[in-house]
Structure 1
Amino acid sequence: MRSIPPPLGSVAVKRITLTSKKNWWMVELDEEENKLNAAQPFPSHAEPVLNDYSHPLPPSAPAIPSSPTFNAPRNPTNIFSFPTPSIYAAPPNPTASLSPFAQGSASELFKCIVKKPEIVQLEINDEMQSNALDVTIQFLAELRVYTHVAPHRNLPVFLGCLDGVGMVLEFLEGGTLYDYLKQYAPLPRIRLCDFHNQLLDALTHIHAFGLSHGDLSLLNVQVIERFGELTLKLIDFGRSVAATSVLAAPDVEPADPWAHVNTDRPEPRVEQIFPGTRPFSAPEILRGECHDARLADAYSFGMVLVCLERGQLVDVKPWDQRKDLLPEDLLDGCTSFGGRTTQYLRRWDERRRLLREDMVDMANA
């Protein structure tokens, strides 16, 4: 497909970058039209380029015999090329917590989800543009979560990777938290407290390993019903970043997505942090000024709590949200958690952190 932007007077398009969300484009403008030729697109048609970075093993992984150094490929279609490195391996006995949907005399069958890279490329201004870089960033970020964070009840089970295909995850049978809210709102207090505790437990678990979720929203939480009990599962960790990284805005020069797998480079590492789903994305991320990704998760958690308590999806005008402004009636009726929701939605330097001690006592719910 060929797309030619309309004339912009004295302002010209410097670079248009596709992201893995096909309705989200990043556009950089130049004040002088002659700067247009200085654009550096991200080619996806080039041959994969190997780097010299090797993957570290997750802290909890058992010792593995030495093997040739694995060089992470630059092309996302080759992330899972044979042989799949040990860093992408599943933990021991990953199906222990899963129930097979069928059993034979010599095997058990499990349902699973396979996530594979999907690349889109367009010809713009006679140059090929691709979302290959963004796809790579998201897949590496999600793999880092699944291979570094210990298994948890509220996270999908990671089953490893398939050579030449992608990562394999537990099959989650159920709708999103948004779907559940539409059907069952308003929620009783005991259900609110249960969902609060499950989300808080999952987020603090991820944070304890020095990582963020990055895109918490009603759409990135699955509600699973098993044996009459509801279990929430956090999904989609493609916007996760490390707490030890220096966070850069998405409109700066692209950061090296393989920096976190390189043990030879000195700290600090640089990772770009991208906006998540509005209105759950923290204001500092929308401004490109995020300093602490785990505090940004706290803001997203606060917005999820507002939606749960009000029984509906809420919204904030983008220009107000960027300025840390909230509608006057946003928190009306939000009293179930002792005012902590208000503290989650403050400016980042005044915001309450997510703490396991804030779990609600279900006996008094």
Structure 2
Amino acid sequence: MSTIVAGRYQLVAPVGQGATGVVWRAYDLLLERDVALKEIALPPGPGAAERRRRVVKEARMAARLSHRGIVTVHNLAEEAERLWIVMEFLEALTLHDTVVQAGPLPAELVAKMGRRLLEALRHAHDGGVVHRDIKPANIMLTGDRVVLADFGFAGFESTATTSMRGTPAFIAPETLQGRGGTREADMWSFGATLYMAVEGRTPFRTVDSMAALMAALQEPPRAPKRAGALEPVLRGLLRKDPAARLTSEQTYAMLVNLRRHSAA
């Protein structure tokens, strides 16, 4: 017998693992459409209330963002000591899986994807929301859409944080020093994501957790070999000093300029 959540969402099959829970494909029996449900267990104990608060915050944050480059949140349900975030369902590959299967992507294609992703990120930043975990595994590619997913670590930019959040190979140096939670840190992660897409590897020589953390603090990123005209964008985004890093406005202008030159 199929499991039905909140009296209307029929679970079909697990489709992935997000930063904070299992993601299911499901069917909305009321509106007769496919949806995605992120299942988040709330085991009893001292941390249960705080975990629930964070999940509700994530859902509210994502729901207040309306952009075709950000996964749409439809609802939040609670049942059987679990919270379920109900989202649009995308038939999509992640950027990570695309690079693993197809290898490094052409610089022109990466620049095009970068423009669309940056439009979504700028929309989030304009709303005061920073993502904190931008990486290829959180970028969905479907049709002509490039979609930013999983706001499980997201927060308001004005909210200071001293905890390390994110994925080591894509985390900004200042985040490791307890100065994360800013749009500048998101831009570093965005740059590391574009680097991975065009080079087929991370900006540093290892993805081992501790080594990657130390490399981000002490070593320059590896020189790109396939980036071509995209290289100045990558170098500008991966500057260790947040104040010297390219802003989203500067980056977008450079990516648009690359499109004009390629069309000339």
Range class of TM-score, shorter chain: 0.7 to 0.9
Q: Which sections of structure 2, spanning at least 5 residues, go unmatched?
A: 1-18, 22-26
Greater gyration radius: 1
Per the alignment, residue 10 of structure 2 pairs with: none
User: How many equivalent pairs are there?
Assistant: 227
Per the alignment, residue 73 of structure 2 pairs with: 158
3-state SS of paired residue (1:222) = strand
**2:140 aligned with 1:222, yes or no?**
yes
**2:154 aligned with 1:240, yes or no?**
yes
**2:114 aligned with 1:196, yes or no?**
yes
Deviation at 1:306, TM superposition (A): 1.0
Per the alignment, residue 7 of structure 2 pairs with: none
Deviation at 1:134, TM superposition (A): 6.1
- Within the candidate set 335, 346, 361, 2:228 is matched to 335
Which has the larger displacement, 172-181 or 136-145? 136-145
3-state SS of paired residue (1:248) = coil
Alpha-carbon distance in structure 1 between the residues aligned to 2:216 and 2:108:
33
Superposed CA deviations along residues 246-268 of structure 1, whole A, max 9, x for unmatched, are x1312xxxxxxxxxxxxxxxxxx
Which letter maps to 1:279? Answer: A
3-state SS of paired residue (1:159) = strand
Distance 1:187 1:134, change over 3 A: farther
Deviation at 1:217, TM superposition (A): 0.5
Per the alignment, residue 300 of structure 1 pairs with: 189
Deviation at 1:111, TM superposition (A): 0.3
Distance 1:313 1:345, change over 3 A: closer
| TM-score using structure 2 length | 0.74
3-state SS of paired residue (2:197) = helix
Superposed CA deviations along residues 24-49 of structure 1, whole A, max 9, x for unmatched, are xxxxxxxxxxxxxxxxxxxxxxxxxx
Distance 1:286 1:337, change over 3 A: same
3-state SS of paired residue (1:160) = strand
Identity %: 23
Q: Pairwise mapping of residues 255-266 of structure 1 onto structure 2 (< 5 A)?
A: none
Structure in which a larger fraction of residues adopt strand? 2
Backbone CA RMSD of aligned residues = 3.0
Q: Tell me, yes or no, if the aligned pair for 1:141 and 1:239 is still in contact at 8 Å.
A: no
- Within the candidate set 253, 256, 261, 1:360 is matched to 256
3-state SS of paired residue (2:87) = strand
- Within the candidate set 30, 35, 41, 1:118 is matched to 41
Per the alignment, residue 171 of structure 2 pairs with: 281
Which letter maps to 1:197? Answer: R
Q: Tell me, yes or no, if the aligned pair for 1:176 and 1:220 is still in contact at 8 Å.
A: yes
Which letter maps to 1:321? Answer: A
Per the alignment, residue 182 of structure 1 pairs with: 100
